[in-house]
Amino acid sequence: MIKTENLTKFYGNIRAVYRLNMEVPEGDILGFLGPNGAGKTTTMRMVTGYTTPSFGKTEIAGINVQKEPLKAKKLVGYLPEIPPLYPELKVSSYLEFVAEVKGIKGKERKKKVEEAISSTGLEKVAGRLIRNISKGYRQRVGIAQAIIGDPKVLILDEPTIGLDPKEIVEIRQLIKSLAGKRTVILSTHILQEVTSICGSIAIINEGSLIEFGEIREIEKKYGSASLEEIYISAISKEVKNEEHMGNN
Ligand SMILES: Nc1ncnc2c1ncn2[C@@H]1O[C@H](COP(=O)(O)OP(=O)(O)O)[C@@H](O)[C@H]1O
Ligand SMILES: [Mg+2]
């Protein structure tokens, strides 16, 4: 469903993401793990078509994201690290606006907004200004804008960051309930999140993919090690400094 081929991004001399090869099958929930600065956000922005790679490509359901970004964007719901919320709008008006931008018209728009509100548990706050709702509810609004239009793919960048423990549990449950047949990539640096939601993981460090696959398979490979031990070991490995690309 999602495929990256040698996906690479340089910011000047900074190698943010380097030759990333991943294939995420339909229906999979992939946990994208890595320390701050590892390249998670940059990768997600390239997968969703919001950042152009320096090199390499992404395909979603066979569509080349870089060549046909509009077509690809229709298949993807994206919760960015900082969701583009408008604090002065009511929750329902904001979601109406998002639906409009996504090209959903007339009666269908109202229906899709109502669906998004009910599937993210926003009924109680639908009439309130975004600025006046809690952080947990704001994150639900972020998720609601991502699922409007029923995208087959959800890309969630650190969906539980900055929330309190109760909100974290609730957002995790929400993600699980929304996953269904969708293919999901979710970035985090909380291991608990991965074990409770994901079937597979990608561990990224300094822009390079260190581990990728089903959690069970990776655990087998490392013997009896816990996911925590696997993660620490993966991000402590020195990242190979291959030939420098794009700067010659
Ligand atoms: N717009 C940008 N300009 C310059 N450097 C950037 C930009 N965005 C990210 N970087 C750098 O790229 C690397 C990867 O960042 P990022 O993808 O945000 O990592 P993560 O999401 O895993 O914390 C970091 O070194 C970061 O400083
Ligand atoms: Mg990030």
What sign results for the dihedral spanned by CA atoms 126, 130, 133, 138? Answer: positive
- Separation CA 99–CA 9 (nearest Å): 31
Instruction: State yes or no: pLDDT of 247 exceeds 80.
Output: no
Protein residue whose Cα sits closest to atom 5 of ligand 1: 11
Ligand 1, from 18, 36, 41: best to mutate by most atoms within 8 Å of Cβ? 41
Q: Which ligand is nearest to the CA of 16?
A: 1
pLDDT tens-place string over residues 68-97: 998 998 999 999 998 889 999 999 999 999
Q: Which residue has the tokens 């957002």?
A: 171
- Domain ranges for the chain, please list them: 2-82+156-236
- Separation CA 145–CA 122 (nearest Å): 12
The secondary structure element, H or E, covering residue 176 is: helix 165-179
User: Cα(125) to centroid of ligand 1, in Å?
Assistant: 34
Q: Residue 248 has what pLDDT?
A: 38
pLDDT tens-place string over residues 119-165: 999 999 999 999 999 999 999 999 999 999 999 999 999 999 999 99
Protein residue whose Cα sits closest to atom 18 of ligand 1: 41
Two tokens at 47? 């997968």
Angle made by CA atoms 213, 215, 216, in degrees to the nearest 5 = 110
- Separation CA 5–CA 19 (nearest Å): 7
Predicted TM-score of the model (pTM): 0.92
CB 102 within 8 A of CB 113: no
Instruction: State yes or no: pLDDT of 243 exceeds 70.
Output: no
Instruction: Please write down the long-range contacts of 170-179, taking CB distance under 8 Å and 24 or more positions apart.
Output: 170/121, 170/136, 171/136, 171/139, 171/140, 171/143, 172/196, 172/197, 174/120, 174/121, 174/140, 174/143, 175/143, 177/119, 178/119, 178/120, 178/143, 178/147, 178/154, 179/29, 179/154
For the chain, give the percent of residues with pLDDT over 90: 79
Find the residues whose C-beta lies inside 6 A of ligand 1: 11, 14, 16, 34, 36-42
Q: Residue 5 has what pLDDT?
A: 97
Residues 6+ apart with CB under 8 A from 218: 201, 211, 230
Of the candidate CATH numbers 2.60.40.10, 2.60.40.420, 3.90.650.10, 3.40.50.300, the domain formed by 2-82+156-236 belongs to 3.40.50.300
Which ligand 1 atom is the nearest neighbour of the CA of 204? 22
> What DSSP character marks residue 100?
H
